[in-house]
Amino acid sequence: MSDDNMREHLINAMKSRAMFYWAFYKEFSAEIGPEKAAEIMKRAIYKRGLEIGKQFKKFAPGDMAGLKDAFVANVPDPQATFNPNVERCDAAGIDIQLQSCPLKDAWKEAGLTDEQIALMTHIAGQVDNGTFEGAGFEFSADTWQAGRSGCCHLHIRPGVKGK
C-alpha cells in the first residue's frame, strides 16, 4: 500500500471516530439530555487520555523538551492529520497549535453547525486533558471556536513535583 493510501486510510479512520462521537452524543442526548451526554462523554474520553498519558509520565514533572519530542512523535502522520505547530517549548511550558483536525473536518463535512463543531471539539479534546494531566503536567486547551483558524491550541505546563 502506498504512503498516500495509508494516509487516506488513517484520515478516514479519524473521521470515522469523529462520527462515532457524534452518533453517541446524539443518542445519549435523546435519552438523558445534551448536558449530561456531554458530561459522560468527556469523562470517558478523559479516562482514555489517562491511558495514553502513561507513556509520557517519564517526562514529568518538568522535562518539557522531552515531552514535546515524544508527543509530536506520537502524532500519527502529523503533517497530514493535526499538523502541530510548536509555538513555544521552554522550561516554563509548551504551546502547540493544531493547525488541522480530521475530526473537525468530518463534522464540518457532515453538516454540523459551528456551535455543534465547537461542542464536539471540546468533548473530544478531553483526551488531551487526560493525556497530559495523567502524565503529571498542568494542562489547558483553547478548543476550536467559529472564526478561529486551525483547531485546538494546547498549553502544557510543568507539573507539581511529587504529585
Quick one: which of 4, 11, 157 has its CA closest to 81? 11
What proportion of the chain, given as a percentage, has pLDDT over 70?
99
Residue 161 — pLDDT band, cuts 50, 70, 90?
A: confident
pTM (predicted TM-score): 0.94
In a domain, 104, yes or no: yes
**pLDDT tens digits, 115-132:** 999 999 999 999 999 999
**pLDDT tens digits, 24-74:** 999 999 999 999 999 999 999 999 999 999 999 999 999 999 999 999 999
In a domain, 67, yes or no: yes
Number of domain units in the chain: 1
Domain containing residue 106: CATH number: 3.30.1380
Structural domain that includes position 40: 3-157
